[in-house]
Amino acid sequence: MSGFVHTSHTHDGELAVFLIGMRVNHPWRPDLWGPVFAAMPGMISELYAAKAAAARGDGPDLGFLEARTLLGAGGPTLVQYWRDVESVYAYAHDPERRHRPAWTAFYRRSRRATGAVGIWHETYAVPAGGHESLYVGMPPTGLGKAFGLTEDRSRRRHARIGRSEVAAGSAAPESVVS
């Protein structure tokens, strides 16, 4: 026995995973890539502030759940978890939120020097039962941070998506983090 507590996230419903990143193609043009890089922290702050306000009952729930920034040789990538794809699109197109003006400014700047900075995104609609997580010896991150954790007492601690035989005979999860 390892002594580690195996945990998993508590969410069973659908969700959306949104990946967004940028790549600096012309580092000598900070006038073009700097504003793109600088816009993202404000959008993430806005999402977390709206999430907190919604939890207090002081504002609308935008559907944003959690985010994490990954740094790599190709540039930064943000992994975002959302309630559903519709919430991602609603935020992206809302003229009262930070994303829409930043998007418009990016396209305006990119016409001056095509290719100086690249942006990309991918959106995944994940159906209920189409996601899993396992955390051993570490604090919650990703889905575990977004939804909280439960102890995973199953004897088979490996990929379980679509494997109904794992659920049969597994002990009921016990809540460890809310």
Classify 121 as helix, strand or coil.
strand
Sequential DSSP letters for 54-76: HHHTSS----EEEEEEEEETTEE
Quote the mean pLDDT of the chain: 79
Q: What is the full DSSP assignment across 28-39? A: T-HHHHHHHHHH
For residues 69 and 44, give the distance between their C-alpha atoms in angstroms, rounded to a whole number. 10
| CB contact set of 117 (below 8 Å; sequence gap of 6+) | 22, 23, 24, 25, 26, 29, 32, 33, 36, 110
Dist CA 49 CA 67 (whole Å): 13
Q: pLDDT, tens digit, for every residue of 109-127? A: 777 778 888 889 999 998 8
**129-to-6, 10, 96, 145, 164 alpha-carbon distances in Å:** 19, 12, 34, 18, 11
Q: Which domains does the chain have, with CATH numbers?
A: 6-11+129-175 (no CATH), 15-126 (3.30.70.100)
Q: What percent of the chain has pLDDT over 70?
A: 76
Helix ranges, 22-163 (H): 30-56, 85-93, 99-110, 143-147
> 59 CB contacts (<8 Å, ≥6 apart)?
50, 53
pLDDT (mean) for 69-76: 90
Q: Let me know: does 153 contact 173? Beta carbons within 8 Å.
A: yes
Please give the pLDDT value at position 166: 41
pTM of the shown model: 0.75
